[in-house]
Chain A
Amino acid sequence: MSPRAACRLDTLGFKEVYDYMPSKADWMARGLPLEGEKAGEPRAIDIARTDVVTCGLQDTIWAVHDRVTQSPYGFAFVLGPGDVLLGRLRRAPLEDNPDAKAQDVMETGPSTTRPDIPPDKVLAKLQHADLTTAVLTDPEGRLLGIVRRSDLSSRTT
């Protein structure tokens, strides 16, 4: 629809016209602010935690270990260029391979969730898969935060 609108504006004589191709779906998938009657409805991004430990592909385990141990979550995310989420380091491998690099022991391709999903749907997804944490990323795969199942459960009780 927007290409036709852009074309029409062009024919109406507008000199500088742009078509934001991915449109509203893309904007919402980034967890960005909205206006409108339903703009206040809860989204996963609204309750996301952002204090999760992160590291780079080349970081050694010993450099990450203490931060993970002190974290309430027990894992770290491994980020590539542009903060794109590439993997997860759980606590157990951190104990055995202090000189290894994150990319060598990480679990690749963690499952992710869109930040604009309603919290009740995130909870259903986590319950169905028997998971404790939903990982939120934007359309480019950049880490936005996490949502804990316990946080969601407490919202609905």
Chain B
Amino acid sequence: MSYTQILYPRLRELLDQGAQLVEVLPPAEYDEVHLPGAISIPLKTLDAESTATLDRARAVVVYCWDGL
């Protein structure tokens, strides 16, 4: 595993440093509520094409509903 699991305090730091926030839930759940500034890339569509808009030079933080 080469990604890092984090809790809220680290998330706060990363956001302050300009990290990109990605919600991977289905679009309907994103449309209802999402974290400020997050973009929607549902897990089922997560591939090279859908992530092409992400800046590879910056950190990426993903989240879902409760991590499960």
Contacts and interface: CB of A to CB of B under 8 A. Distances in A.
Summarize A's interface: helix, strand, loop or mixed. Answer: mixed
Interface string B35-66: 11110010100111001001010111111111
A17 B3 contact: yes
A155 interface: no
A5 B64 contact: yes
A121 interface: no
A18 B35 contact: no
A21 B3 contact: no
Nearest to B10: A18
Interface residues of A, number: 37
B16 interface: no
B27 to A, nearest CB: 11
B67 A19 contact: yes
Contacts of A6: 3, 5, 62
Given A1-B64, A2-B64, A5-B24, 14 more contacts: A1-B43, A1-B65, A1-B68, A2-B24, A6-B5, A7-B1, A8-B46, A14-B60, A18-B6, A18-B11, A18-B19, A19-B63, A22-B8, A34-B36
